[in-house]
Amino acid sequence: MASHAIGHELTRSEAMQHPEVKAEFDAAQTRLRAMHVAFIKIQNDLEIYLFEAYCAMELDTSVWNTFRTH
């Protein structure tokens, strides 16, 4: 989230040494800690994959859910 907001090309360890990035990281971490989480148990693998994509579209989280690793 901090990388997206700041737009840097640093490695993670370099970014944590950069005051502006570290401040943005801390702010994002504070926002995340204030969020509420819900879990839905889904047994079927295909249903999980489809549900994850549906949620990303419905909640407009495409910035964070790129699905490049799936």
Task: Kindly report, residue by residue over 4-18, the tens digit of the pLDDT.
Answer: 677 777 777 887 788
Residue count of the chain:
70
How far apart are alpha carbons 51 and 42 in whole angstroms? 9
31-40 b/e (C-beta count within 10 Å ≥ 16 → b): eeeeeeeeee
Is 0.75 topped by the overall pTM? no
The pair phi, psi for residue 18, each rounded to 5°, is -85, 120
At 45-69, the pLDDT tens digits run 999 989 988 988 898 887 777 777 5
